[in-house]
Amino acid sequence: MHLDDLPDGGARGFDVPGLRCKVIVVRRGDQVFGWRDLCPHYAGGTPMAWKRDAYLNGAGTHIACHAHGAWFDMETGACVQGPCLGKRLTRVPLRVDETGTVSTLP
């Protein structure tokens, strides 16, 4: 994925070989943050979008799980509201190279 494929403030889900869940990539300016698409409300986690790539709350301020309304901080992954208060998303470390190409770190 290239940085230009994701508008500032946007989110997208990607299939990553070897992972059983998608990886959510959110962009804030030139920074990107990667999270496993697994809401920690239930053990093992469940996917969070209500339709393809629809990961954010209405105001676009938080990653939201659309099963039961949990909100997560985009930069820290901490749940700030809803069923998994006190839990957090699992980070997927990302790298952006000088050409703007985004990739997962091994």
Partner 1 sequence: MQIIGPDLLVFGVDDVPACHEFLTAYGLNAQDYTPETGGYFMSLDGTGLEIRRRDDPSLPPALKTGNMLRLQVLGVVDDAALEAVAKELGRDRQVLRLADGTLRCQDDQGFELSFRVTTRKALDMPAEKVNAPGDYGRKPNQIGVSEDMPAKPRTLSHIVLFVPDIDQAVGFYRDRLGFRITDTLTGAGPFLRPQANPDHHTHFFIRTPPYMQGCEHLAFHMGGPTELMMAGSRMMKQGFESFWGPGRHKFGSNWFWYFKSPLGCNVEFDADMDTHDDDWAPREAPMGPEASQAFLLQWREKWAPTGGPKKD
Say which residue the tokens 């339709």 belong to.
51
By CB under 8 A, name the binding residues for partner 1: 46-52, 54, 57-59, 64-69, 71, 81-83, 85
| Least distance to partner 1, CB of residue 35, Å | 16
| Least distance to partner 1, CB of residue 59, Å | 6
Whether 56 contacts 72, CB under 8 Å: no
| Least distance to partner 1, CB of residue 105, Å | 25
Say which residue the tokens 């496993």 belong to.
36
Q: Which is nearer to partner 1, 33 or 71 (CB)?
A: 71
CA distance 2 to 102: 6
